[in-house]
């Protein structure tokens, strides 16, 4: 069976971009020009361009035409990013992941008090009725949103403290430093990762195409008493520019 015209055109345009015929930021031919070049009507060309837009390869702007979208830099999530260096400039695991300074970091936030529910109760190993503080964040590297998350902490730990006030975000040192001010010593952090296509909200918030995969992970901060004191569920980053690095020490 012959391949549909729009898929054939999308494949060829994708190839031409990958081989460098059009570089990042370059304008590609107009819809009429592509229709003439491929010998088809504008409908299959429009469908092909929609596929590449969803894949994050191209973008269209009013009066600017359709251009090859600049590729985001790759960021590596290292296992030691939660270890802050004493005496270093203000930072969080996010700024260390991104390799940016404090002045380049911006955070949108919304706080609300919620009940744990079955899923969060299982993650916290607590009762479903336990009160939590839900902290919804969107993280910006300069003006680019690159991460979103909802972080939950126990209301019994943070209620009435500066940790529960969004005006204090972003907090140098991140969650571990916040909890330390409350006398809670975090000694273990766990993370579990999955990959999927973005939800409509994730694609809109992170400004990515619907065809760009995302990396979702759940993080838990565990105190020296063994009690789970924070759950971030989920943390979401675009998957085409995130590499997770692990270092595993082996005994001989």
Half-sphere exposure of 67 (CA within 13 A, CB side): 13
Q: Which residues, at least 6 apart from 173, have a Cβ–Cβ distance to it below 8 Å?
A: 84, 90, 91, 92, 180
pLDDT at position 12 is: 94
* pTM, 2 dp: 0.82
In sequence order, the 6+-apart residues with CB closer than 8 A to the CB of 188 are 221, 222
Residue in the block written with tokens 């001989």: 252
Please state, in angstroms and rounded to a whole number, the distance separating the CA atoms of residues 161 and 167: 12
pLDDT at 59: 82
CA distance 133 to 110: 10
Closest residue by Cα to residue 54 from 178, 191, 197: 197
216: which strand partners? 194, 236
Whether 64 shows a pLDDT value over 80: the answer reads: no
Proportion of the chain above pLDDT 70, given as a percent: 99
| Pure H helices in 19-138 | 31-38, 42-54, 93-98, 117-124
- If one counts every other C-beta atom within 10 angstroms of the C-beta of residue 47, the result is 15
Question: Could you report the per-residue pLDDT of 83-101, keeping only the tens digit for each?
Answer: 877 777 899 999 998 889 9
Distance from the Cα of residue 129 to its chain's centroid: 29
Distance CA 132, CA 230 (A): 10
> Tokens at residue 110, please?
């919304």
Which residues, at least 6 apart from 152, have a Cβ–Cβ distance to it below 8 Å? Answer: 114, 116, 120, 124, 132, 133, 134, 135, 230, 231, 232, 233
Residues linked to residue 217 through DSSP beta bridges, in sequence order? 193, 235
- Tens digit of each residue's pLDDT (9 = 90 or more) over 7-56: 999 999 999 998 999 998 899 999 999 999 999 999 999 999 988 988 87
């Amino acid at each position: 069976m012959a391949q549909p015209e729009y898929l054939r055109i999308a494949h060829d345009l994708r190839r031409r971009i990958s081989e460098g015929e059009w570089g990042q930021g370059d304008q590609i031919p107009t819809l009429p020009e592509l229709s003439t070049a491929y010998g088809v009507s504008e409908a299959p060309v429009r469908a092909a361009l929609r596929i590449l837009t969803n894949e994050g390869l191209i973008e269209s702007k009013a009066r600017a035409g359709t251009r090859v979208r600049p590729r985001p830099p790759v960021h590596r999530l290292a296992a030691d990013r939660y270890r802050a260096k004493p005496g270093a400039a203000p930072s969080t695991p996010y700024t260390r992941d991104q390799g940016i300074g404090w002045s380049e970091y911006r955070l949108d936030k919304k706080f609300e008090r919620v009940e744990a529910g079955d899923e969060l109760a299982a993650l916290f190993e607590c009762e479903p009725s336990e009160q939590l503080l839900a902290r919804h964040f969107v993280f910006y590297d300069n003006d680019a949103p690159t991460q979103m998350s909802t972080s939950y902490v126990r209301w019994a730990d943070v209620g009435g403290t500066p940790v529960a006030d969004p005006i204090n975000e972003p907090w140098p040192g991140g969650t571990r430093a916040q909890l330390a001010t409350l006398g809670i010593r975090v000694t273990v952090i766990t993370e579990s990762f999955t990959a999927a296509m973005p939800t409509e909200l994730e694609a809109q918030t992170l400004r990515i195409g619907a065809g760009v995969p995302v990396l979702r992970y759940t993080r838990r901060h565990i105190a020296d008493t063994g009690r789970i004191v924070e759950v971030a569920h989920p943390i979401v980053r675009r998957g085409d520019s995130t590499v997770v690095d692990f270092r595993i020490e082996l005994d001989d």
